[in-house]
Structure 1
Amino acid sequence: MYLLFSILCSTLIFVIFKALRKYNINTLQVIALNYIVASLIGVLAFNEPITSANTLHASWFLGAVFLGFLFISIFFVMALTAQKNGVSVASVASKMSVVIPIVFGIYVYHESASFQKITGIVLALVAVYLTSIKGTSEINLKKNLLLPAVLFLGSGTIDTSIKYIETTYVPENGIPIFSATIFGIAAILGVITLMVKKDLKIIPKALFGGLLLGVVNYGSIYFLLKALDHELFESSTLFTVNHVGIVMLSTLVGLFLFKEHLTKKNWFGITLAIIAIILVTLA
């Protein structure tokens, strides 16, 4: 259930970013507001008194600062990619990065690497690539690949760091405050950015967008951390299923909700994604 909720919340993030452009809502304002909301949710979900010992002096604090900086930077890149390249391309660019935490898990944590599992992972990467191919689009390095490339590297670093910090430093009951701290750092950076750009006049639509995105964003990270904390799946398996599931769902949402055109290769990619999930999970 944690894994399914994480996939659903992550897909809704792409939908919200697409809607921001449709209704001409200030993306940066919504991103900054969303992190404030997400941080407050984490604080409210933490059932212990908040002290310097379990925040500023916690062993995971510097990691949370690093992740907070990455979150808002990559989140903004994700928004631009979804708006300029489409929902499915943004999803694909971020989810192809699954190869980074997969390799990390196998190499550092000595997770299993059976033939069936490796076959499933390879099929997953092929599936993700095929869903990104647009039959009528021309390849332009600056327009089509720069933003997805940055999104790929940043997303891979975030996933790998989350797994490492959660496993090494975060106690079982510390996930809400750990999440809240990450979002709090991102919120501070977002507000500073708005102040520098003198863009502090918030309209009601941006407030609503920030509230909605904040709830969904917190859910995507909280449920992912809870899934990673479970002993049922290895991280390499969980990340594969999570990422490919998001790609499948967001691509279908792009088709039915935003009328994005899917080619035969896109559909073949979705089929391969289903096969990959089955292979990796059963392995």
Structure 2
Amino acid sequence: MIYLLLSVLSSTIIFVVFRLYTRYGVNTLQAIIVNYFIACTVGYFGYIDNADFSKVPSESWFPGALVLGFLFITVFNLAAITTQRSGMSVVAVATKMSVAIPVACGIFLYNESTGFLKICGIILALIAVYLTSIKKKEGISIKTKNLIFPLLVFFGSGIIDTSLKYLETSYVAETDVGLFSSTIFATAGIIGTFILTGQAILGKLKITWKNILGGIALGIPNYYSIYFLVMALRSNGLESSTVFTMNHVAIVTFSTLTGILLFHEKLIRKNWIGLILAIISIILVANSAI
């Protein structure tokens, strides 16, 4: 359970960093790409002992890590497009509701438990995620022509979580968690570099120190959010459907509370109801795991 809590805290710090990007005018794409290389570096030098990096391409999990790295930056760009066309609330709902995919896979593919408390907790969790993510009383609205983008974010985010579970279960040894996580970030960073190179060729690239510092601030907690999530998935007594549900809902809860305390965010009634439901869902799912 400690790994799950540490993953949630790391993800909450990521929320704070993103909020500070808006305040200080940080270029999110540049910072994200720098963040991938920082996260990779943290893993390589902090959590990997006596690793022979030349053998990484021959590891059984390497192709999966490449795919995940591609998905990381692809989903990020899709999220950016969705934000521009439909708003931040739509992205938040699509990203967090995607927990339904790994939860369903855990139950149907890995034959995980489906007790009454757990099912009630999962249903409440999905409702809570929606209610805490919307920022307008009338809810969210999406134009039909823009619907494809939040759908891609939804499926992309869900596939990322599901793939993490599959790879750590089937291919990643406990001693390779750090190397596996760092390889994912390195792949995303390299792909991102090609994007920046394209911008430079078109004369649209302007790198500043605040973007680099923003990437450093994001990269450290980002690495730990993935590392501790993988470690939580490996914990005895915690099924993946339990881990993903509690992880997503706890992130929503902590991030919402942090927004109130640090950024003086104003919540509408639906947000408060969602927050209460989130806490109830965490209690139900946690009790079902005992």
Taking structure 1 as the reference length, the TM-score comes to: 0.91
Alpha-carbon separation, structure 2, partners of 1:63 and 1:208:
30
Q: Distance in 1 between matches of 2:186 and 2:230?
A: 17
2:224: which partner in 1? 219
Q: CA deviation at 1:276?
A: 0.8
Q: How far 1:42 sits from its partner (Å)? A: 1.3
1:74 maps to 75
1:77-92 matches, within 5 Å, as 77-78=78-79, 85-86=87-88, 90-92=91-93
Per-residue Cα deviation, 1:209-255 (whole angstroms, up to 9, x for no partner):
01111101101001101111111210001111000001112222333
Deviations 1:71-112 (A, max 9, x none): 1122344456678734x6644431211110011011111100
Counterpart in 2 of 1:126?
127
User: Is the contact made by 2:43 and 2:179 (CA closer than 8 Å) also made in structure 1?
Assistant: yes
What is the letter of the counterpart of residue 251 of structure 1?
T
Number of the residue aligned with 2:279: 274
1:102 has 2:103 as partner = yes
Question: How many positions carry a matched residue from both structures?
Answer: 281
Q: CA separation in 1, counterparts of 2:76 and 2:148?
A: 15
State the distance in 2 between where 1:270 and 1:144 align.
28
The one of 50, 53, 59 aligned to 1:48? 50
1:133-144 aligned at under 5 Å gives the runs 133=134, 134-135=136-137, 139-141=141-143
Q: 1:160 to 1:232 in 2, by over 3 A?
A: same
Summarize the Cα distance change of 1:126–1:264 in structure 2 as closer, same or farther, 3 Å threshold. same
Residues 142 and 25 of structure 1: CA distance in aligned 2, closer, same or farther (over 3 Å)? farther
Alpha carbons 1:7, 1:245 under 8 Å: kept: yes
- Which letter maps to 1:237? T
Report 1:1-283 matches (<5 A): 1-44=2-45, 45-53=47-55, 55-78=56-79, 85-86=87-88, 90-133=91-134, 134-135=136-137, 139-141=141-143, 147-198=149-200, 201-283=206-288
Give secondary structure in 1 for the equivalent of 2:57.
coil
Residues 16 and 163 from structure 1, CA distance in 2 versus in 1: closer, same or farther, beyond 3 angstroms? same
Write the letter of the residue equivalent to 2:52. I
Q: CA deviation at 1:29?
A: 0.9
Give the deviation of 1:136 after TM superposition.
5.5
Q: Distance in 2 between matches of 1:80 and 1:215?
A: 25
**Amino acid paired to 2:58:** H
Instruction: Classify 1:49/1:161 alpha carbon distance in 2 versus 1 (closer, same or farther; 3 Å).
Output: same
Is contact 1:14-1:82 (8 Å) kept? no
Change (3 A) 1:91 1:139: closer
Inter-partner Cα distance in structure 2 for 1:220 and 1:159: 12
Query: Offset of 1:144 from its aligned partner?
Result: 8.5
Change in 2 beyond 3 A, CA 1:47/1:144: same
Contact 1:34-1:213 at 8 Å conserved across structures: yes
Q: Aligned partners of 2:143 and 2:126: how far apart in 1?
A: 21
Shift of 1:191: 0.7
Flag the 1:270–1:280 CA change in 2: closer, same or farther, 3 A.
same
Mean Cα displacement is larger for which, 251-260 or 8-17? Answer: 251-260
- Tell me: CA distance 1:257–1:225, structure 2 relative to 1, closer, same or farther (3 Å): same
Contact 2:90 2:140 in 1 (8 A): no
Q: Deviations over 1:150-199 (max 9, x none)?
A: 32221111000000001100001000100111001001001110001115
Partners of 1:262 and 1:214 lie apart in 2 by 29
CA RMSD of aligned residues (A): 2.2
Contact 2:48–2:178 at 8 Å: present in 1 too?
yes
CA spacing shift, 1:200–1:37, aligned 2, 3 Å: farther
SS in 2 for 1:197: helix
